Amino acid sequence: MAFDPAVLRDSFAVVERRADHVAKYFYAHLFTHNPGVRALFPEDMGEQRDRLFGALTHLVLRLEDPGRLTAYLGALGRDHRKFEALEEHYPAVGASLVAALRHFSGHSWTAEVEKAWCEAYAVISQAMTDAARAVPADEPAWWNARITGRRRAAPDVAVLTLAPDRPYPFTAGQYLSVCSARASRVWRPYSVANAPRADGTLDIHVRRIPGGLLSGVLVDLAVPGEWLRLGPPMGGAVLDPASRRPLLAVCGGTGWAQTGALLEQAAAAPRPAVAFVGARSDADHYDLERIRALVGRHPWLEVVLAAPEDGGSREDAARLLRAGLAERGGWEGYDVHLSGPPGMGDSLAALLRSCGAEPERIRYDPVPAPQEGRPLTPSDWFLMQRDVPWINGTELGGA
């Protein structure tokens, strides 16, 4: 590592308090000097500016951890293929990044600082382009998928069946990112809600998020026959194919999509399994017909439904689910899979470890909290802690 991490950290601390201004300057500089690049970005750039600083923050935090940095950059480079990023774009991005940092650093910008950032960006861009080049030539950067079925499972939840235009090689438990022409260049992650099928179709469960740029489109507007774009499958919360240990799956809300896929996959090699399915209310258990069908077909499967009384809060639902898991207890020797809203994985992993579950047997993909509003002033950036990882809402280099 040629650059000095301490120099970069100190430099970043100077501009961090002006994050939104730095990001605006960066994109203005990039688009002014490279006008053709603008078409690769969404019309609304507010979230994109957040993502830029989210990515920079992740990089700065990993400067002295080469293993995590390499994993992060590799995933970043591979995923940028779906954004249509080309190798010739990287020098332009580097020039605009340095220009923005220089502009807002004032007297703290020195020849040493500029050298450190240029060296760091050279490492970053090389790692990303190397990762993109390493992707097999026959692996698409994205898939086009036609909506072949749409079911309103709840007032704010739609189940979409998609038919990709070529084989989509996923494993039960993984997720994908989705983009629609109705919200151009906006990508969002959704779990694949089934194990692989002979006909190649797959389901996703979409809950409408207030103010969401894509979820409302998919729940309320998308229709059969419409085409979506899918990014490559991601995520490591899949079943261990060699394991015959009993299985515990815990989910909340549309986290049921991933859990349902795992239970379908488990049927290929049955073993004792129990699934705790949490919801905000009885009505929010939106896929009961499928749940009953799974239980009816598979005597090795037990499903526990958990929901508070009508009018209960999300916190009430979480407490009820935690109480049921703790009361049942004795989770040693289980493979554990968790899926659900932001924070659920971390919280339940800690609880289940206290109930005997081995940490290495607990799998889940992190889910960042949705943001309400954007930081507009330096104070806001400190008070409104952002969790805006670049790729699909998952911390890169993780599970």
Q: Residue 393: its pLDDT value, please?
A: 39
- Per DSSP, 192 falls in state B
Q: Are residues 196 and 260 in the same domain?
A: no
Rounded CA separation 295/303 (Å): 7
Question: Could you give the dihedral angle defined by the CA atoms of residues 201, 204, 205 and 209, in that order, rounded to the nearest 10 degrees?
Answer: -150
pLDDT given for residue 289 in this prediction: 94
User: In this structure, are 308 and 196 located in the same domain?
Assistant: no
Same domain, 42 and 163: no
Eight-state DSSP code of residue 233 = P
Q: How many domains does the chain have?
A: 3
Q: Which of 204, 230, 256 is the last residue of a domain?
A: 230
pLDDT digits (tens, 9 = 90+) for 222-259: 999 999 999 999 888 999 999 999 999 999 999 999 99
Same domain, 119 and 28: yes
For residue 291, give the CATH number of its domain.
3.40.50.80
| 185 and 279 housed in the same domain | no
- Angle (CA) 271 273 278, round 5°: 160
Note whether 124 and 73 are within 8 A (CB): yes
CATH number for the domain spanning 163: value is: 2.40.30.10
Sequence-ordered list of residues with C-beta below 8 angstroms from that of 223, at least 6 positions apart, any chain: 147, 150
Same-domain check for residues 316 and 216: no
User: What's the length of the chain?
Assistant: 399
- Which pLDDT does position 287 carry in this prediction? 94
Low-confidence ranges of the chain (pLDDT < 70): 1-2, 311, 368-399
pLDDT of residue 2: 66
pLDDT score, position 264: 97
Gap between the Cα atoms of 201 and 207, Å rounded: 20
Domain end among 186, 205, 230: 230
Does some domain include residue 238? Answer: no
Instruction: Identify whether residues 45 and 159 lie together within a single domain.
Output: no
Q: Is residue 398 part of a domain?
A: no
Predicted pLDDT at 1:
53
* Residue 393, in any domain of the structure: no
pLDDT value at residue 69: 83
Range of the domain at 203: 143-230
Task: Tell which of 230, 260, 286 closes a domain.
Answer: 230
